[in-house]
Chain A
Amino acid sequence: MSRSCKAALLASAFGAMLAWTAPVLADGPSSVGRPASPAELKAWDIDVGPDFSGLPKGSGTVSRGMEIWEEKCASCHGTFGESNSVFNPLVGGTTAEDIKTGHVAALKRTDFPARTTFMKVASVSTLYDYIRRAMPWNAPKSLSDDDVYAVLAYLLNLAEIVPDDFTLTDATIRDVQQRMPNRNGMTTAHALWPGLDFPGMAAKPDTANAVCMTNCKPKAELASQLPEHARGAHGNIAEQNRVIGPVRGQRTGPDTAAAEAPSPALALAEKSGCLSCHAVDTRIVGPSYSEIAARYRGKNNAEALVSKVKAGGEGSWGAVPMPPQDDLSIDDAKTLVAWILSGAPQK
């Protein structure tokens, strides 16, 4: 490469840089800020619209999706996307007939309380966009575009929208849209959008109460009251109200103000995110602390458990893996293990 050629290249590279780094000297507030570079735009402009604008090229198979799913998704969503232990179920409640009509029939049934993601979502683009920007929950944006295709292919397969041997690509996703079970299930015929650009938008609100002042109805009948079991379900309401004023809170539970402060180890477990998957007495995603204590207590292997907590692993308690806890210090891990082995006391 000739020297002049190099210089020209440098100059043009510098020029390109100038285009987005040099301060704009014009007066006035429109000079504040700077142009975005193409690389910056590419890094952040990741939204995918229902018309598939913004969809990256790529592909993923159902079987590859299953691998990723079991490693990174099943611990929260269940092996078949059916779990409701951490989040609402993703899959279930749709039928082959729904895929034909584009309306999920179960949504009309008042005796069918479940509302899974696939019962609701009309646009498959939403799922690609969301998985890419926000999943896995504890490591968002860590999946490659192809991995997102694969995970979505697996989900679509679980929902019986695509066959086992399906490959989801930026082309085939358009066919999938035509099989989304609730693709015709949305309406914009309402008055709750503060803009002008949706079909069917109603000009008027859907209720029309009036200002009546006297003898507005013959009597006031109670349609519903707080069930007795719900009275104490939100702790002691006496402690959720002021100690002065015209009213006091009703006493609906034991006083906690005088009780001992919660155990620092419990607070540490909460802060470290342990309690998303573990509880003291019940299984959530991982084993309960009482199960763990029962298995390991008195076996003098606290040190091994500390390593296990740090490194994660699977197999000891079933197939769902525990992720490594890189952010947890050794000291904190020791505190937690000692606390768990002592029965995970609340105070």
Chain B
Amino acid sequence: MSKLRPTGEATPRTDPLVPGADALSGRLRRAPENFLTPDEIGQVGKGRRDFLRASFLAAAGATAAATLGGRNAAAATADAAGDPDILNPTPWGSSLGQPVAANPYGLPSKHERGLVRRQSPGLTQVAAASVSFAPLQGLFGIITPSGLHFERHHQGWQDIDPTRHRLMINGSRPEFVKTPRVYTMDDIMRLPPVSRMHFIECGANTGMEWGNVAVPTVQYTHGMLSCSEFTGVPLRTLLEYCGADLKAAKFILAEGGDGSSMTRTIPIELVLSGEVMVAYGQNGEMLRPENGYPLRLVVPGVQGVSWVKWLRRIEVGDRPYAAKDEAVHYIDLMPDGQHRQYTSIQECKSVITSPSGGQTLLDKGFFTISGLAWSGRGAIKRVDVSVDGGINWTQATLQTPVLSKCLTRFTLPWNWDGRPALLQSRAMDETGFVQPAYGQLRAVRGTRSIYHNNAIQTWQVAESGDVNNVQIL
């Protein structure tokens, strides 16, 4: 592995990358790098740039040979008059493209195949009770494409026949819901809908990192995080239609219709706020089966396990339920041996997604640091970014929209001078709560909590350009 890994003791880089190509410098770099072999990328890390020009020429020749066929490829490239992808016809610019509906349900470009959800090897023994992580390192803005939404299943996922799906609403005692009701999907989709954008984060997101650095990239450190526009009916409205006694009620139970029939307790205060939603829509289409098709609960600001998928029943009650996922799992072990039970809110947190762990900066010079911030208590107020491990900070720009309990994208321009750097982001939400450092979090909660790790993430940039996961207290 060490052979593959550019070391941090590389000689400082020299500029310009393509000596003497001033008129074209900068713009020319991108193209040849697309042809770099892994070894050549490694050499970039070691400060070697001189081969890039040769690589550029070879690439030009290869492209020319491939596209020009019998024409004189050498003539097209010998003088390096410019970028071969400009000077020479491209395959896509000189041929007929695909017809409409070639993919009736569109797919990403084949060149994007690396950006998929992935499992963390060794995290679980059975894939039907496991996690797949969203590729945050490659996503833009705040919406997670539905096909890349992280997955967490407790007993496998089901693709439920929506014509046979029912939602039942009842009371733990008859007086809470005098006439329990049943809704078909036809019924629910007739009711006045709302559409809202919210993040969903697993309570165990970043859980592998409580004690020390364990995983290499932001996909695995923070990838149990997604954000969608959800469409559905506020649960409060549905309960009112049912005539539920919302004064006597203190808790509701949400239950899934899959094999696990997972249950979670939700406080009535959150339901009364109108935020909790019985949702069928996700990003303009129906929920994906992996995300609870055809119906799931949306509980803004609260950990994903409470967003019960394949939702089949809501019970109105006055006592918490101590369901398996709030009495055996999703309980936070504290240093004194006690478990915090019914921990639910995802507190203010942020992470830089580019550049991030496992990546390599291709050159020094201008970059845009970009990342995500979110809070289960409301909207993000500000995000600060440090490039020196938290000694000094600069306020980042928040991209709009900035919504309550929704991902917020932040950016900060950065000139990398080629020296080691330690990138951090620190978010503050509208309540004034500031995301804690690892030292602050561990001082209260120790290292064995598993859940609700919202500490400041650090990415170390080595002179080689390699970005690695590290922790600073």
Sorting the interface of chain A by its residue count into under 10, 10 to 19, 20 to 34 or 35 or more gives 35 or more
Q: Shortest distance in angstroms between A146's beta carbon and chain B's nearest beta carbon?
A: 20
Residues 408-450 of chain B, each 1 if its beta carbon lies under 8 Å from chain A, else 0: 0000000000000010001010000111111111001100100
- The answer to whether A324 has its CB under 8 Å from any CB of chain B is no
B181 and A29: CB pair below 8 A? no
Q: Shortest distance in angstroms between B71's beta carbon and chain A's nearest beta carbon?
A: 27
Given contacts A197-B251, A210-B434, A222-B460, 11 further A-B contacts (CB under 8 A): A35-B179, A41-B180, A86-B126, A126-B322, A134-B155, A188-B341, A233-B216, A234-B216, A242-B112, A244-B111, A246-B355
Q: Shortest distance in angstroms between A177's beta carbon and chain B's nearest beta carbon?
A: 11
Q: Shortest distance in angstroms between A176's beta carbon and chain B's nearest beta carbon?
A: 15
Partner of B114, one of A205, A230, A249: A249
A191 to B301 CA separation, bound complex (whole angstroms): 13
- The answer to whether B202 has its CB under 8 Å from any CB of chain A is no
A206 and B444: CB pair below 8 A? yes
A224 and B471: CB pair below 8 A? yes
B263 and A36: CB pair below 8 A? no
B179 and A195: CB pair below 8 A? no
Q: Please name all residues of chain B whose beta carbon is closer than 8 Å to the beta carbon of A53 when the two chains form the complex.
A: 172, 319
Residues 193-224 of chain B, each 1 if its beta carbon lies under 8 Å from chain A, else 0: 00000000000000000001111110110000
Residues 199-222 of chain A, each 1 if its beta carbon lies under 8 Å from chain B, else 0: 000000111111111111111111
Identify which of B16-24, B254-262, B285-293 touches chain A. Answer: B254-262
Report if A34-B362 is in contact (Cβ < 8 Å); known contacts: A206-B444, A226-B357.
Answer: no
B328 and A126: CB pair below 8 A? yes
Identify which of A44-52, A293-301, A309-317 touches chain B. Answer: A44-52
B436 and A185: CB pair below 8 A? no
Residues 229-263 of chain B, each 1 if its beta carbon lies under 8 Å from chain A, else 0: 00000000100111100000011010100011111
Q: Please name all residues of chain B whose beta carbon is closer than 8 Å to the beta carbon of A225 when the two chains form the complex.
A: 213, 460, 468-471
Q: Please name all residues of chain A whose beta carbon is closer than 8 Å to the beta carbon of B270 when the two chains form the complex.
A: 194-195
A121 and B327: CB pair below 8 A? yes
Q: Shortest distance in angstroms between A336's beta carbon and chain B's nearest beta carbon?
A: 18
Partner of B359, one of A30, A187, A221, A241: A241
Partner of B215, one of A210, A234, A246: A234
A87 and B468: CB pair below 8 A? no
Interface centre among A210, A211, A234 (most CB of B within 10 A): A234
A33 and B181: CB pair below 8 A? yes
A214 and B344: CB pair below 8 A? no
Closest A residue to B302 by beta carbon equals: A194
Q: Shortest distance in angstroms between A286's beta carbon and chain B's nearest beta carbon?
A: 13
B213 and A224: CB pair below 8 A? yes
- The answer to whether B163 has its CB under 8 Å from any CB of chain A is no
Q: Please name all residues of chain A whose beta carbon is closer than 8 Å to the beta carbon of B215 when the two chains form the complex.
A: 226, 230, 233-234
Closest B residue to A76 by beta carbon equals: B126
B138 and A241: CB pair below 8 A? yes
A208 to B338 CA separation, bound complex (whole angstroms): 22
B359 and A248: CB pair below 8 A? yes
- The answer to whether A292 has its CB under 8 Å from any CB of chain B is no
Q: Shortest distance in angstroms between A232's beta carbon and chain B's nearest beta carbon?
A: 5
A192 to B375 CA separation, bound complex (whole angstroms): 12
A30 to B215 CA separation, bound complex (whole angstroms): 50
Q: Shortest distance in angstroms between A106's beta carbon and chain B's nearest beta carbon?
A: 8
A192 and B358: CB pair below 8 A? no
B129 and A220: CB pair below 8 A? no
B181 and A223: CB pair below 8 A? no
Q: Please name all residues of chain B whose beta carbon is closer than 8 Å to the beta carbon of A208 when the two chains form the complex.
A: 434, 436, 440
B337 and A238: CB pair below 8 A? no
- The answer to whether B170 has its CB under 8 Å from any CB of chain A is yes
Closest B residue to A118 by beta carbon equals: B328
Identify which of B61-69, B75-83, B94-102, B184-192 touches chain A. Answer: B184-192
- The answer to whether A186 has its CB under 8 Å from any CB of chain B is yes
Q: Shortest distance in angstroms between B242's beta carbon and chain A's nearest beta carbon?
A: 8
A123 and B322: CB pair below 8 A? yes
B170 and A36: CB pair below 8 A? yes
Identify which of B52-60, B84-92, B143-151, B389-397 touches chain A. Answer: B389-397
B320 and A41: CB pair below 8 A? no
A129 to B315 CA separation, bound complex (whole angstroms): 15
- The answer to whether A137 has its CB under 8 Å from any CB of chain B is yes
Closest A residue to B135 by beta carbon equals: A240
Q: Which 10 A-B pairs have the closest CB atoms?
A: A195-B267, A220-B389, A108-B337, A207-B436, A107-B337, A209-B434, A192-B343, A130-B324, A247-B359, A237-B358
- The answer to whether A335 has its CB under 8 Å from any CB of chain B is no
Q: Please name all residues of chain B whose beta carbon is closer than 8 Å to the beta carbon of A347 when the two chains form the complex.
A: none
Interface centre among B182, B253, B388, B460 (most CB of A within 10 A): B182
Partner of A216, one of B1, B301, B331, B391: B391
B367 and A246: CB pair below 8 A? yes
Q: Please name all residues of chain B whose beta carbon is closer than 8 Å to the beta carbon of A185 when the two chains form the complex.
A: 337-339
Closest B residue to A136 by beta carbon equals: B259
B180 and A247: CB pair below 8 A? no
Report if A252-B358 is in contact (Cβ < 8 Å); known contacts: A47-B315, A194-B302, A223-B472.
Answer: yes
- The answer to whether A79 has its CB under 8 Å from any CB of chain B is no
B179 and A252: CB pair below 8 A? no
Residues 87-108 of chain A, each 1 if its beta carbon lies under 8 Å from chain B, else 0: 1000000000000000111011
Residues 172-194 of chain A, each 1 if its beta carbon lies under 8 Å from chain B, else 0: 00000000001001111111111
A190 to B344 CA separation, bound complex (whole angstroms): 10
Partner of A140, one of B120, B260, B355: B260
A260 to B396 CA separation, bound complex (whole angstroms): 45
A223 to B390 CA separation, bound complex (whole angstroms): 13
A146 to B125 CA separation, bound complex (whole angstroms): 30
- The answer to whether A257 has its CB under 8 Å from any CB of chain B is yes
A56 to B321 CA separation, bound complex (whole angstroms): 16
- The answer to whether A2 has its CB under 8 Å from any CB of chain B is no
B1 and A29: CB pair below 8 A? no
A243 and B111: CB pair below 8 A? yes
